[in-house]
Amino acid sequence: MIRPRWSVWLIKATFAGRFLAARATWVPVLGGLINRLLFDGDRIVYLPKDTIVRVNEPIPPQVDMVLPSQVVEHFVEQASTRWVMNTCICRESSKCRDYPIELGCLFLGRAAAGIDPALGHPVTKAEALDHLRRCREAGLVHMVGRNKLDTVWLGIGPGTQLLTICNCCPCCCLWRMLPQLSPDISGRVTRMPGVSVAVTERCIGCGTCTRACFVDAIDLSDGRAVIGDACRGCGRCVEVCPQKAIELSVDYGQAVAQAIGGIAPLVDLT
């Protein structure tokens, strides 16, 4: 149990320097080593909030409403082990004042049973779902997937038996360093399949969305916002736009199933 506590101290002490560390991934040889040690086999998906999703075509009466939260709920249902961290290490390291520090990651799978009890505790299915609900109500955004970095700092494994559900704020999230990471690594963090984000004619080019985007995917051109390919579809821009000029839509026919199908083969949760 010593290693994870030492790792926690190290993360907190160096967290502010993660952007500089991310730039090291562009260095030949060193970047490849970092990739293999910390990110090999990863796939992580950002899920937009249920409250900002617009379904992009009529839903037949016999089909249920598509909600991004159904992705994480599916994995909670499937998992044999569920573990909630006592705090969010990102918000704790950043001394966040805007979002709850006590709402930490949810880890699923047998490897989670090896986490240091000082850092969290096992929960039931109902408790795990309630934890995720409280995270959404607090304005946090889910990220779900296989994240090798978590097996490293927690000192557990194998990675094929650990699924991470992060509950991210826009100010402290580790993955704010995505624009600084090499494409080989940053490309492992994607938007939810079937999600599209569009700027409407209501845009007046105020720039509010450019400041809200944690991956620097929005620019201003000719007096209006332009969303680039780096967009992860988190929907923060939709929430902050004072003109309600940005819309996030989801294809009800494929989004949830494709998101689950892209992650499920990477992790054994039984």
Q: Which tens digit of pLDDT belongs to each residue from 90-141?
A: 999 999 999 999 999 999 999 999 999 999 999 999 999 999 999 999 999 9
Output the CA torsion sign for 156, 157, 159, 161.
Answer: negative
The parts of the chain modelled with pLDDT lower than 70 are: 1-4, 54-66, 252-253
Beta bridge partners of 120: 85
Q: What does each C-alpha distance from 174 to 16, 100, 216 come to in angstroms?
A: 10, 16, 15
Alpha-carbon gap, residue 20 to 234, rounded angstroms: 24
Starting at the edge strand found earlier in the chain, the sheet holding 189-191 runs 120-122, 82-85, 106-108, 163-168, 141-146, 43-46, 189-191
Q: What pTM value is reported for the model?
A: 0.91
Helix (H/G/I), strand (E/B), else coil: 182: coil
Q: What are phi and psi of 70, to 5 degrees?
A: -65, -25
Per-residue model confidence as pLDDT tens digits over 246-260: 999 888 667 899 999
Cα atoms found within 13 Å of the Cα of residue 246, Cβ hemisphere only? 27
Beta bridge partners of 249: 54, 196
Position 6 scores a pLDDT of 83
